[in-house]
Structure 1
Amino acid sequence: MTEIASREIEVAGRPVLAEIVPAYAPASAVAIHTDADHFLSDAARDAVAAGIPASTMRAYTKDWKAFDAWCVSQGRVSMPATSQTMTEYVTHLTTAISARTGKPLGPASIERALAAIRTWHNAADVNPPQTKGARKVLSGYREYLATTHNPAAQTRKAAPAGRDPLRSMLDKIDRSTLAGKRNAALLLLGYATAARVSELSALNIADVTATEDGLLVNIYRRKIKKYTEVAVTYGGGKADTCPVRTVLALIAAMAEKGRTSGPLFVRVDILGNIDTRQMMRKGVAIGDPEGRITAEAAAEVVTRIANTAGLEGRWTGHSLRRGFATEARKAGAQLEKISRHGGWADGSKAMLGYIEEGDKWRDNPVAHL
């Protein structure tokens, strides 16, 4: 048992039993950190890295390597970086020409670079640098881009795949092939579930359950870190725009190829067979041995078909998710219903941004004046 002792205090000059306290202080009451308190094992570091989406980690790695190389060229230390180094680096990024675009980086890309540098410091148990000066430079850069009407001032957004654009894309797909059936199912299921391409590529056949009312799709929502069961109803129009019939047609076609389990969306070779070849990149084995497509490949399907359909704008895998949000709102769906169906976090700024775009005509305040 824990020993206890009474403690007296004086009230109006007279001793009074005030409270009962432990007779001794626990060892943890005195905070003296040792090296053990600051140690982080390799397993813990790997576990932290596993909590960062793979696409984000790739981008952060690229940003960190660029920062480290710039520091070497300038005779500066990349870790721990100083606030002055951060300010100089952001100033450099506002004028340096990107090899990929032939233009300086936009504000969003510079923000990501700052996040990458802070993440790398935190992962190494090093205090990240102060960025107050760097962010003032970035703020001035945003102002300059806006006042000079530079397109980089506008955030690049994926065009929303609403109903009409989606129909145009579906019209360009040859569904007599396995690849065509896969592409049509990817577009319609991505739209109907408001899924990210990373969530679509992760789906297995077992994640899709057919019911008399439609499909129940078990999707792991990466941003909110949990599974959601999404109900997909039969389409009221033609069969070729119905997500339920289209997904079931894909599953049946894969069964004819002997595939009844594993990934729902797979690579397909030029002969129309499921492609399970081991691929190599720079001597490193890549690709899923079961033939699962990557998130990048799923996004490329959306981009390629949109371009084939002659659609204007920037079409990416995110176009399906944006299209669902805007069309659902136009149809009168409640915000919380849209949010829960699409796996958005409560109060998601991204989702509210999509809704605002859909509402700027549907619920325009000028119309009420």
Structure 2
Amino acid sequence: MGDELVEVVDAELVDESELRPAIAEPTAQTGPLVDRHTVLRPGELTITKRPTYTARDFYVSEETARRIDQESAPANTGKNYRSQRGIFERWCNEMGRVARPCTTATFVEYVASMIAREYRPNTIGTHMSAVRTWQPEDARPGTKVARGLLNEYRKAWGRRNRVTKAPAITDDMFRAMVAACDQHHPIGIRNRCALILGRGALNRRIELADLLQADVDVEAEGVALWIATSKTDQDSKGDETFVPIWDDDPLINPVHATREWFSTLHRLGARDSAFFRALTAYGALQNRSTATVRGDHVSGDAINDWVRSCAYSANLPHWQEITAHGLRRGGAQAIADAGGDPTRQGRWKPGSTAVKREYLDRALARSENPWLKVDKGGRQNP
């Protein structure tokens, strides 16, 4: 027949000098070697005698070995796997267990030991993969029990280490924070402008920190911001975001707030470079001559500090948990609740699943909440 599937059984390795030719099957007897996976057609002959192998059947050349080492996995993956396999081998030595080929019980015990040491679930997963692929193909340990342990641990880990998102800054919180800014002091003027533009443009904190004065254009109906680079624009093509006057309240008017901050900057002698500047407690420009990384630009952490200080001044509950990202979240949710889509304004990628999940779906679910069908008297609305 065509290519035959053979199995290595009771092979004996000998020195190259002792290589002997394999014993061929009798030509009169042709057919498949029978094992539990064999499927025979009617009238097909079978062969039960297996060939005899020599050392030559099991070795690859040095060139092939180098190619396998170089191309079987990326360099970093190969390095990590070697390290993880070394850790497993040392653990087995300490426990008096065989590392290769290891038993399923050893594999399970090793996974359990990493869980006991509270490794990250993803770290445990990579160790499992490194160890299992290191084993001979016909002697790899079973994974059902070990993966069951890891899955349960992953759930518990997720409950304990759930990432808590910065609270959204709602409209009422935003107004209170803006009102708390002292409009007779440069810091208050700056912080008010940062709050209004940050919410209006749905800025990431680093986008605010990176603004140049030349990137901010005050118009009669709003403020245009040129965002030179962002998380979704790694090629720095740039994009303009317009912050309109969306409310009649002069306190949160973006045009007024931006003009006031521009005037303050010019009085302080800063007519170019960074738009948001670090100030002393007395309202003077901080000396940035030793700032070798950001220069005149503040950091994203500084923007966070400004927002948090406004929350503190406004006596907001849990003010210490509030960050600049809350401006972005709160503004995006306000747009979604009003029936809009914040994707373009916040420079998310078109069709962003995060926008759909975090804002659009949430707004839709709330607008269609069944309790809205019930009036205050307990009667169902039509």
Q: Report whether the alignment pairs 1:240 with 2:251.
A: yes
Listed as ranges, the gaps of 5+ residues in structure 2 are 1-63, 71-78, 89-106, 134-142, 374-379
Q: 1:295 aligned to 274, 295, 300, which one?
A: 300
- Name the structure 1 match of 2:286: 275
Tell me how far 1:129 sits from its aligned partner: 6.1
Tell me how far 1:302 sits from its aligned partner: 1.7
- Name the structure 2 match of 1:140: 152
Q: Are the structure 2 counterparts of residues 361 and 92 from structure 1 closer, same or farther at C-alpha, using a change threshold of 3 Å?
A: same
Indicate conservation of the 8 Å contact 2:220/2:255, yes or no: no
Q: TM-score, normalised by structure 2?
A: 0.58
Q: Distance in 2 between matches of 1:90 and 1:212?
A: 65
Indicate conservation of the 8 Å contact 2:111/2:124, yes or no: no
Equivalent pairs, count: 263
Q: Report whether the alignment pairs 1:156 with 2:167.
A: no
Q: Which amino acid aligns with 1:341?
A: Q
Q: Which amino acid aligns with 2:363?
A: G
Q: Distance in 1 between matches of 2:168 and 2:261?
A: 25
Q: Distance in 1 between matches of 2:132 and 2:356?
A: 29
- Name the structure 1 match of 2:52: none
The worse-fitting range, judged by mean Cα deviation, of 162-171 and 77-86 is: 77-86
Q: Distance in 2 between matches of 1:253 and 1:90?
A: 62
Q: Are the structure 2 counterparts of residues 140 and 364 from structure 1 closer, same or farther at C-alpha, using a change threshold of 3 Å?
A: same
Tell me how far 1:305 sits from its aligned partner: 2.1
Tell me how far 1:145 sits from its aligned partner: 5.2
Tell me how far 1:140 sits from its aligned partner: 2.4
The worse-fitting range, judged by mean Cα deviation, of 179-188 and 87-96 is: 87-96
Q: Distance in 2 between matches of 1:327 and 1:239?
A: 19
Tell me how far 1:95 sits from its aligned partner: 5.2
Tell me how far 1:135 sits from its aligned partner: 8.5
Q: TM-score, normalised by structure 1?
A: 0.60
Indicate conservation of the 8 Å contact 1:182/1:250, yes or no: yes
Q: Which amino acid aligns with 1:172?
A: A
Q: Distance in 1 between matches of 2:303 and 2:325?
A: 10
Indicate conservation of the 8 Å contact 1:160/1:319, yes or no: yes
Q: Are the structure 2 counterparts of residues 189 and 197 from structure 1 closer, same or farther at C-alpha, using a change threshold of 3 Å?
A: same
Q: Report whether the alignment pairs 1:82 with 2:84.
A: yes
Q: Distance in 1 between matches of 2:132 and 2:194?
A: 42
- Name the structure 2 match of 1:49: none
Q: Report whether the alignment pairs 1:307 with 2:312.
A: yes
| 1:18-57 alignment runs, 5 A limit | none
- How big is each residue's C-alpha offset from its partner over 1:43-95, in whole Å with a ceiling of 9 and x where there is no partner? xxxxxxxxxxxxxxxxxxxxxxxxxxxxxxxxxx8575437969979975885
- How big is each residue's C-alpha offset from its partner over 1:134-186, in whole Å with a ceiling of 9 and x where there is no partner? 9976642342357xxx5x36431111112111011112211211111111111
Q: 1:329 aligned to 327, 332, 336, which one?
A: 336
Indicate conservation of the 8 Å contact 1:193/1:232, yes or no: yes
Tell me how far 1:277 sits from its aligned partner: 3.2
Q: Are the structure 2 counterparts of residues 204 and 153 from structure 1 closer, same or farther at C-alpha, using a change threshold of 3 Å?
A: same
Q: 1:316 aligned to 318, 323, 326, which one?
A: 323
Tell me how far 1:288 sits from its aligned partner: 3.0
Tell me how far 1:270 sits from its aligned partner: 2.0
- Name the structure 1 match of 2:273: 262
Tell me how far 1:187 sits from its aligned partner: 1.0
Q: Report whether the alignment pairs 1:199 with 2:207.
A: yes
Tell me how far 1:221 sits from its aligned partner: 4.5
Q: Which amino acid aligns with 1:176?
A: H
Q: Distance in 2 between matches of 1:272 and 1:345?
A: 39
Indicate conservation of the 8 Å contact 2:209/2:303, yes or no: yes
Q: Are the structure 2 counterparts of residues 270 and 366 from structure 1 closer, same or farther at C-alpha, using a change threshold of 3 Å?
A: closer
Tell me how far 1:217 sits from its aligned partner: 0.8
Secondary structure in 2 matching 1:339: coil
Q: Report whether the alignment pairs 1:168 with 2:176.
A: yes
Identify the structure with the greater strand proportion.
1
Q: Distance in 1 between matches of 2:222 and 2:87?
A: 57
Listed as ranges, the gaps of 5+ residues in structure 1 are 1-31, 39-76, 97-104, 119-127, 280-284
